[in-house]
Amino acid sequence: MELKDKVAVVTGAARGIGAAIALAFARRGARLALLDLPSTTTDESVARCQSSGAVTRTYDCDVSDEAQVVRACERIAADFGRLDLLVNNAGILRDGLLVKVEHGKVVRTLPLEQWRAVLDVNLTGTFLCGREAAAHMIRFGHGGVIINISSVSRRGNFGQTNYSAAKAGVAAMAVVWAKELARYRIRAASIAPGVVRTDMMAALKPEALAKLVAAAAAQRLAEPEEIAQAAVFIAENDFFTGRCLELDGGMRV
Ligand SMILES: NC(=O)c1ccc[n+]([C@@H]2O[C@H](COP(=O)([O-])OP(=O)(O)OC[C@H]3O[C@@H](n4cnc5c(N)ncnc54)[C@H](O)[C@@H]3O)[C@@H](O)[C@H]2O)c1
């Protein structure tokens, strides 16, 4: 897909990987619909996209809320008159052991609300945005591309029952959508980053972060712009569909 003048929706676009993807698309001439939580300011991200000449609009939207997602996608379709690309990027972490044991005693189990919080945003949010965006793409009849941001954790990562389940799910959904939506010229794929320098990782303990960096052949964190480059590749390469692009610096064995 040629990105010039296409309409790209990026969720969780206020900062981090989402902001980098939005900017990379803007630099290739796409028009941007940036979604993020009502409580989060997207000003900086919008200013960067606009400074590269891109028409950019923002939409307050909690991706885990069905009514908000439906409304946001309807407004985007009405405001721009088309919808070509969706990047399901919004995500959160709420790590915890399935069962925590201290001195031989079970002291805590992973609370259901901690499981649900991550599944609601990372998995259900991706489902809702993917469903609504695909319906609009089909109505407009121009084809399209959907990119789900998965993670190296989709293979199962210590302390991440909820996150690993969600990230495996979004990679699987991209495969399903690639198969179901190909007849409408819609491609779907996912990206599985390793550890990327964003606020999400800044919340990790330094020793945990050092361990993750040591596990990567690249021996460093990825920059958000490197993930954005992968999103541009998937968007532009019409033969890339139904696959997960692993971008983890050689972390997975
Ligand atoms: N940073 C990493 O190392 C890394 C690695 C692999 C995958 N990822 C994935 O990449 C994506 C982006 O991560 P990041 O590191 O940029 O995170 P981040 O925390 O820096 O940014 C996430 C953005 O998503 C938004 N968001 C959170 N919940 C939302 C909701 N319910 N509705 C709408 N927006 C919401 C936040 O407000 C924020 O702007 C996530 O899906 C994350 O799981 C990150």
Domains of the chain, by residue range, sit at 7-246
Q: What distance in Å separates the CA atoms of residue 168 and residue 156, rounded to the nearest whole number?
A: 8
Tokens of 85: 């690309």
Residues written for the chain: 253
Write the pLDDT tens digit of every residue in 190-205. 999 999 999 988 888 8
SS3 assignment, position 193? strand
Cα(218) to ligand 1 centroid in Å equals 22
Cα(43) to ligand 1 centroid in Å equals 17
Cα(153) to ligand 1 centroid in Å equals 14
pLDDT, the chain, mean: 97
Q: What distance in Å separates the CA atoms of residue 161 and residue 158, rounded to the nearest whole number?
A: 8
In DSSP notation, 5-38 reads T-EEEEESTTSHHHHHHHHHHHHTT-EEEEEE-T
C-alpha triplet 59, 31, 23: angle, nearest 5°: 85
pTM: predicted TM-score of the whole model, two decimal places: 0.98
Arithmetic mean of pLDDT, 70-96: 98
Arithmetic mean of pLDDT, 11-24: 98
> Residue 253: which pLDDT band, with cuts at 50, 70 and 90?
low
Contact, 116 vs 94, CB < 8 A? no
Q: Which of 178, 147, 189 is nearest to 30 (CA)?
A: 147
What residues are labeled active site? 163
Ligand 1 atom nearest to CA at 163? 43
Atom 42 (ligand 1) nearest CA: 91
Neighbours of 110 (CB within 10 A): 17
Instruction: Report the topology of domain 7-246.
Output: Rossmann fold (3.40.50)
Res 22: pLDDT:
98
Residue 58: beta bridge partners? Answer: 34
Burial 6-31 (b: 16+ CB within 10 A, else e): bbbbbbbbbbbbbbbbbbbbbbbebb
Res 172: pLDDT:
98
One-letter amino acid for residue 108 of the chain: R
CA 29 to chain centre: 21
Res 203: pLDDT:
81
**Token pair 């609370």: residue:** 111
Arithmetic mean of pLDDT, 174-193: 98
Q: Are strands 105-109 and 99-102 parallel, antiparallel or unpaired?
A: antiparallel
- What lines the ligand 1 site, CB under 6 Å? 11-12, 14-18, 35-37, 40, 61-64, 89-92, 121, 125, 149, 151, 193, 195-196, 198-201
Cα(141) to ligand 1 centroid in Å equals 30
Tokens of 135: 């319906």
Q: What distance in Å separates the CA atoms of residue 201 and residue 221, rounded to the nearest whole number?
A: 10
Atom 30 (ligand 1) nearest CA: 62
Write the pLDDT tens digit of every residue in 106-159. 999 999 999 999 999 999 999 999 999 999 999 999 999 999 999 999 999 999
Cα(183) to ligand 1 centroid in Å equals 31
Q: Which of 141, 138, 139 is nearest to 180 (CA)?
A: 138
Q: What distance in Å separates the CA atoms of residue 133 and residue 125, rounded to the nearest whole number?
A: 12
Q: What distance in Å separates the CA atoms of residue 157 and residue 223, rounded to the nearest whole number?
A: 21
